[in-house]
Structure 1
Amino acid sequence: MSEKESSIKKKLPVILNGQFFKPDGKCVLCVNKTIKFDENATGNLHKHLKRVHPNSYASYEAMKSKVAKKEENKLSEPKPNFFCFQSSSQLNNTMRLYYR
């Protein structure tokens, strides 16, 4: 497996979700424009979006904060204790709600 393939299987930053940039750095809003970046440093992508596509940058910031709030809520939810259920149907219902 190549290095690019393994980095794609990892959780990608929000900016690489395909709405603004493809995982290889191609700008979706430009024609044939690829921005160089490192998988741990996406500053070049942010800078390009902010300078060249300011309206899209504003929508990216809104989307990024929405995703951050969603992840924060997911982390703050208490995990169910699977050993305190009376029946397997209670367990199945709880698991179904938890793992949506």
Structure 2
Amino acid sequence: MLKGLGQLGDMAKMMKQAQEMQAKVMQLQEDLKTLMVTGESGAGLVKATCTAKGELKGLDIDPSIFVPSEKEVAEDLILAAIKDAQAKAEARSAEEMGKITEELGLPADMKLPF
């Protein structure tokens, strides 16, 4: 297409790659909204589910933790499960972004989107 145009051909190629990268990042941002991860605490007594973007979507709590004298323990377990789910969401998001940067031949530690 732009053979023989030297740097103009390279520039056109770079622009096309940038557009492809932008489209992939935008698609991934949408995908992260539906990708679910689950964190847990208390050996599975409390489970928190959130999107890979970190939005809490659900809690599953074993009724055995609802002992009035153990209120603080239940609160700690719930908080720990939510934090675990959010940490897993962040890791999953970074993993998915890493796949895009690798696919595009960019450095693995490059942060996207810019």
| TM-score between the two structures when normalised by the length of structure 2 | 0.33
| Largest Rg, 1 or 2 | 2
| TM-score between the two structures when normalised by the length of structure 1 | 0.36
